[in-house]
Structure 1
Amino acid sequence: EERLRVFLQAWRDKQPKLVAWAEENIPEGFAVFDLPEAYRRKLRTSNACETLNSRIKRRTRVVGLFPSEESLERLVTAVLVEISEAWESGKSYLKPEN
């Protein structure tokens, strides 16, 4: 946060749009440091998102053409619920601290 403050001071006059963007967006990126270090190591990759997307794609590819947007939403929701239940009952990827 100190480095961000120094950066913002240095560039405030020369690049006001950049500074405005940085003030608004960069602190969100630092939110990851509020998590325990063990979580950060697991979250540094997008493997979980890629796996989730591939499982949805695999299930929707079987249907091919959906009759309506609602039918697509129902299938994707069902797949996500199924995956969520499996994650909750299976091994914990991120274990809550006691």
Structure 2
Amino acid sequence: MSDCKPLEEARQRKDRIVADYRDVADQAATCLDEGFESATGVMQLPAGLRPYMRTNNHLERLNREIKRRTRVIGVFPNTDAAVRMAGSVLIEQNRLAQARKAIFSEETYRKLM
């Protein structure tokens, strides 16, 4: 279903899957039927935003980078030192993100409205 371009095509595919598997796996079919709209909310976004918004890979990568940097230090003298280290990683990653192509441009915001 996630390969479908238009949302309506994904809904049709979901309906076929639910109908085919209702007898075999009723709970799974019900779960798919009830959770479909929230699971496919990203498909309502403009096509350019979908790859970025459909996963949390960017957040996982950021968390791994913070973890990698904090492991080098080992033991922090206090909580403030740990917060400063994490903050410096976030500032650096933000600076790098600013240099990359903008995900949310003015044109993208207009499409969302």
- Structure 1 Cα separation of the partners of residues 35 and 77 of structure 2: 40
**Conserved in 2, the CA contact under 8 Å of 1:56 and 1:79?**
no
Q: Quick one: higher RCO (CA 8 Å, sep 6+), 1 or 2?
A: 2
State the Cα RMSD in Å: 3.5
In the alignment, structure 1 residue 40 sits paired with structure 2 residue 50: yes
Cross-structure match for 1:86:
95
Cross-structure match for 2:109:
97
Q: Trace 1:5-84 onto structure 2 (pairs within 5 A).
A: 5-43=15-53, 48-66=58-76, 74-75=83-84, 78-79=87-88, 82=91
**Aligned pairs, number:** 96
In the alignment, structure 1 residue 2 sits paired with structure 2 residue 4: no
1:53, CA displacement in angstroms?
A: 2.8
Please report the TM-score for the alignment, with normalisation by the length of structure 1. 0.61
The percent of aligned pairs where both chains have the same amino acid is 25
Unaligned runs of 5+ in 1: none
Please state whether the residue corresponding to 1:74 is helix, strand or coil.
helix
- Structure 2 Cα separation of the partners of residues 71 and 24 of structure 1: 44
